[in-house]
Amino acid sequence: MFYREAGQFKTSYAADMAIFPILQDRIGLAVILAIAFIAIPLFGSNFLIQTVMIPFLVFALAAIGLNILTGYTGLISLGSGAFMGVGAYACYKLTTIFPGVNIIVWILASGFFAAAIGVVFGLPSLRIKGFYLTVATLAAQFFLQWSFVRIPWLYNYNASGAIEVPQRLLAGIPVTGANATPVTRYLVLLSIVILLTWIASNLVHGRIGRSWMAVRDMDIAAELMGIRLLPAKLLSFAVSSFYCGVAGACMMFLWYGGGEANDAFNINQSFTILFMVIIGGLGSIIGSYFGAAFISILPTALKFGLPAMGIALSGPVAEHLNYIILGVLILFFLIVEPHGLARLWQVGKQKLRVWPFPY
């Protein structure tokens, strides 16, 4: 009733091709942005910001990165955790070598290092396809993880063997380190994520994105149509790793505030991000957000939400139950909608358009 485009006329091709052609969508987006930028920092508790929103945004960024590779280009990667690690260690080295430069510049720049490493491990993708390609990315995962522990230069030879996040200021306010409030870190992270989402959205809707999708649908056909496979695939690896790298730097500097690779950038992390992409919806930016929300927020919500609803369970039982519920929910959503939550969202919008008089 409220959600329909009747009466909204397009007078130019640009308007017709807009990503959000419907007015209500644009309003909705503005509302969400307003909630994210104003309501949550003002009214959210530190717990909400620190353990729900910040992890969600970091994972959403990583999921967008992997979605570019897996969802848009059709190359499955199990190395995203390690690429996040590359970003985190690059950022750590950069900010300790050049402490004067703004930390946000380094967080973004660290993505380029991840991109470079990503391209190297993406090289076999021209020859190896499908599940077989995962071995190249798994090699990246385990080799890089080993390097993080093995090369003390990466963690500045410190005794803890971990990244120790120093305090950095932005306009006099601490952004990283212990004195940075969750709200500051959240706002910085949110800005980075939104900026990169906007760039990703433009990338995938443009010429490059279309060439990626052509490669995904059938690479030989794409080649016949004049898409050069190697540059297209490598660019996809580079962009994807860039996003993962930035996500990794954000994870260490804006969320964890220090930590070590075996703990944070292990194979489980790679799997987690892949599953976010799949459950959210392959080849969908908004799906990356849904997937990240589902897999990162749900366990927290179950752990702290069930006791809040009066279902008091002892720690381990609750943890087991969380696993069971999460497993069942994944199966349930896959059976209901195998194309991910993004598709569910599409269907929902479609239904909403004709509500209350469905035909």
Partner 1 sequence: MKKSALALGLVVGALVGTPALHEASAQESVYVPLFTYRTGPFAGSGIPIADGMRDYLEMLNQRDGGIGGVKIVIEECETGYDTKKGVECYEAVKDKKPVLTNPYSTGITLQLIPRASVDKIPMLSMAYGLSASADGTVFPWIFNPPATYWDGASVMVTYMAQQLGGFDKLKGKKLGLIHLDAPFGKEPIPLLENLAKEYGFELKLYPIAAADMQNQSGTWLAIRRDRPDFIYNQGFGAMNPTAVKEAIRNNYPVGKMVGVWWAGGDDDARGGGAEAKGYKALSFNQTGVDYPVMQDIIKHVFDKKLSKVENRNRIGEALYNRGVYNSMLIAEAIRTAQRITGKKVVDGADVRRGLEGLDITEARLKELGMEGFAAPVRVTCADHNGHNKAFVAEWDGGKYVKASDWIEPIKNKVRPLIEAAAKEYASSNTGWPKRSEACDKPS
Partner 2 sequence: MDILYSIFVDPFMQMGSAPDLLVQTLWEGFVGGILYALIALGFVLIFKASGVFNFAQGIMVVFAALTLVGLYEKGVPAFLALAITIGVMFVLAYAIERVVLRPLVNQPDIILFMATFGLTYLLIGLGEAIFGGNPKVMIAEQLYLPKGAIDLKILGGVVTLQKIDIAAAIIALVMIGALSLFFQYTRIGRALRAVADSHKAALSVGISLNQIWVIVWFIAGVVALITGIMWGARSDVSFALQVVALKALPVLILGGFTSVPGAIVGGLIIGIGEKIGEFYWGPLVGGATESWLAYCIALVFLMFRPQGLFGERIIERI
Nearer to partner 2, 88 or 282 (CB): 282
Q: Which of 28, 99, 327, 348 binds partner 2 (CB under 8 A)?
A: 327
Residue 47 binds partner 1 (CB under 8 A):
yes
Q: How far is the CB of 150 from partner 1 (least distance, A)?
A: 8
Q: Which of 36, 48, 139, 352 binds partner 2 (CB under 8 A)?
A: 139
State the binding string over 235-274 for partner 2 (x if CB under 8 A, else -). Answer: --------------------------------x---x---
Nearer to partner 2, 199 or 330 (CB): 330
Residue 18 binds partner 2 (CB under 8 A):
no
Residues of span 115-134 touching partner 2 by CB under 8 A: 124, 127-129, 131-132, 134
Residue 143 binds partner 2 (CB under 8 A):
yes
Q: How far is the CB of 228 from partner 2 (least distance, A)?
A: 17
Distance CA 154, CA 168 (A): 19
Choose the contact partner of 221 out of partner 1, partner 2, none; CB within 5 to 8 A by kind.
partner 2
Choose the contact partner of 55 out of partner 2, partner 1, none; CB within 5 to 8 A by kind.
partner 1
Nearer to partner 1, 16 or 263 (CB): 263
Choose the contact partner of 177 out of partner 1, partner 2, none; CB within 5 to 8 A by kind.
partner 1
Residue 162 binds partner 1 (CB under 8 A):
yes
Q: Which of 42, 171, 309, 317 binds partner 2 (CB under 8 A)?
A: 317
Burial zone of 333 (CB within 10 Å; 0-12 exposed, 13-18 middle, 19+ buried): middle
Q: How far is the CB of 210 from partner 2 (least distance, A)?
A: 18
Residue 170 binds partner 1 (CB under 8 A):
no
Residues of span 333-352 touching partner 1 by CB under 8 A: 345, 348-349, 352
Choose the contact partner of 164 out of partner 1, partner 2, none; CB within 5 to 8 A by kind.
partner 1
Residue 49 binds partner 2 (CB under 8 A):
no
- For the chain, the three-class secondary structure string (H helix, E strand, C coil) is CCCCCCCCCCCCHHHHCCCCCCHHHHHHHHHHHHHHHHHHHHHCCHHHHHHHHHHHHHHHHHHHHHHHHHHHCCCCCCCHHHHHHHHHHHHHHHHHHCCCCCHHHHHHHHHHHHHHHHHHHHHHHHCCCHHHHHHHHHHHHHHHHHHHHHCHHHHCCCCCCCECCCCEEECCEEEECCCCCHHHHHHHHHHHHHHHHHHHHHHHHCHHHHHHHHHHHCHHHHHHCCCCHHHHHHHHHHHHHHHHHHHHHHHHHHHHCCECHHHHCCHHHHHHHHHHHHHHCCCCHHHHHHHHHHHHHHHHHHHHHHHHCCCCCCHHHHHHHHHHHHHHHHHHHHHHCCCCHHHHHHHHHHHHHHCCCCC
Distance CA 119, CA 109 (A): 16
Asked if 37 and 194 touch (Cβ cutoff 8 Å), the reply is no
Nearer to partner 2, 4 or 129 (CB): 129
Nearer to partner 2, 31 or 334 (CB): 334
Residue 43 CB partners (closer than 8 Å, separation 6+) = none
Q: Give residues in contact with partner 2 (CB under 8 A).
A: 76, 124, 127-129, 131-132, 134-136, 138-139, 142-143, 145-146, 150, 218, 220-221, 224, 267, 271, 275, 278-279, 282, 316-317, 319-331, 334-335, 338-339
